[in-house]
């Protein structure tokens, strides 16, 4: 069976989606599922393409023992062919991705990450911490981490 390919998507690919990518990649190092999952992140916008993740996001990840490497890239229509699961960080990016999808099958790959967060309670957006302080990055990390736990369970159950 081919690897399950996951892409996390936010607006600029420097805060939320690279946080999700780093957490999932880190957790998969310690899970048998890790050899069956490939993970990337991207943004719907192109403002930060080629830039590293926001230093506040990197600092929070480092504080928790997780390396955040890589640089921002933009999600394109062609990426729907590369990924099996596309996880938007909020409803705005969800709508943008579904509008970009070339087919209904491609659009069906797009979900909100917090659909996998048992504490979401109907609020499925991961808030953008970019214009706030470090506390926002702590909160985002916690939300994403809970969601990743649910996502790993979901991927494991779909792989049989």
For residue 84, with 0-12 CB atoms within 10 Å meaning exposed, 13-18 middle and 19 or more buried, which class applies?
middle
Contact by Cβ (8 Å): 94, 14: no
**Is pTM, for the whole model, over 0.95?**
yes
Rounded CA-CA distance 30/35 in Å is: 10
User: How many residues in the chain?
Assistant: 160
Rg (CA), the chain: 14
Tell me which residue of 53, 49, 26, 52 sits closest to 37, measured CA to CA. 26
pLDDT exceeds 70 at position 9? yes
Q: What is the pLDDT of residues 89-142, one digit of tens each?
A: 999 999 999 999 999 999 999 999 999 999 998 899 999 999 999 999 999 999
Residues tagged active-site: 10, 16, 128
Q: What is the pLDDT of residues 47-90, one digit of tens each?
A: 999 999 999 999 999 999 999 999 999 999 999 999 999 999 99
pLDDT exceeds 80 at position 160? no
The residue ranges of every structural domain in the chain are 4-158
Per CATH, domain 4-158 is 3.40.50.2300 = yes
């Amino acid at each position: 069976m081919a690897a399950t390919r996951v892409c996390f998507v936010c607006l600029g690919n420097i805060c939320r989606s690279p946080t999700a990518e780093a957490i999932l990649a880190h957790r998969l190092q310690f899970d048998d599922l890790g050899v069956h999952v490939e993970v990337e992140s991207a943004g719907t916008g192109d403002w930060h393409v080629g830039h590293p993740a926001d230093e506040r996001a990197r600092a929070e990840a480092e504080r928790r023992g997780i390396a955040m490497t890589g640089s921002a890239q933009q999600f394109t229509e062609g990426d729907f062919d590369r990924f099996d699961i596309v996880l938007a960080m909020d409803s705005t990016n969800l709508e943008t991705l579904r509008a970009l999808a070339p087919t209904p099958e491609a659009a069906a790959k797009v979900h909100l990450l917090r659909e996998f967060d048992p504490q979401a309670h109907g609020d499925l957006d991961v808030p953008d911490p970019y214009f706030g302080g470090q506390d926002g990055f702590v909160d985002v990390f916690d939300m994403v981490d809970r969601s990743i736990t649910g996502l790993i369970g979901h991927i494991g159950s779909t792989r049989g």
